[in-house]
Amino acid sequence: MPGITREEVAHLARLARLELKPEELDHLAGQLDDIIGAVARVSEVADQDVPPTSHPLPLTNVMRADEVRPSLTPEQALSGAPAQEQQRFKVPQILGEE
């Protein structure tokens, strides 16, 4: 497998808007080549009977059920607001949008 070249690292750096010194290009070329080699070795080991996983242990979401419960009315929630508009908190505009 051909290694990643210094020119390819320079191209990736330009795409990522990174300014790298010549010695950094050489150093990163070696590191990226090692990473690509490690990923290739893992791909060789993975077989069709091994399911892809994102975590070694099975995980489940432990969020509570989404149930409607009594809560504040809009008037109660906005009662302490310094400014409100159309049953919403009114805040100063921070972006140039309308």
Report in angstroms the alpha-carbon separations of 49 from 45, 52, 70: 11, 10, 50
Q: The pTM is what? A: 0.44
The answer to whether residue 39 is domain-embedded is: yes
* pLDDT reported for residue 56: 82
* pLDDT reported for residue 52: 75
Total number of domains constituting the chain:
1
Tokens of 66: 């989404």
Q: Mean pLDDT for the chain?
A: 87
Which of residues 85 and 61 earns the better pLDDT score? Answer: 85
- Is 54 in a helix, a strand, or coil? coil
Q: Report which listed range, 1-10, 20-29, 42-51, 57-66, is most confident.
A: 20-29
The answer to whether residue 82 is domain-embedded is: no
Q: Is the pLDDT of residue 70 over 50?
A: yes
The phi and psi torsions of 85 (rounded to 5 degrees) equal -155, 130
* pLDDT reported for residue 15: 96
The answer to whether residue 18 is domain-embedded is: yes
The CATH number of the domain where 19 resides is what? Answer: 1.10.20
Alpha-carbon gap, residue 54 to 51, rounded angstroms: 10
Q: Is the pLDDT of residue 83 over 90?
A: yes
Q: Is the pLDDT of residue 54 over 60?
A: yes
The answer to whether residue 41 is domain-embedded is: yes
The answer to whether residue 91 is domain-embedded is: no
Alpha-carbon gap, residue 46 to 79, rounded angstroms: 60
* pLDDT reported for residue 1: 46
The answer to whether residue 84 is domain-embedded is: no
Cβ(56)–Cβ(36) under 8 Å? no
Domain span holding position 41: 6-45
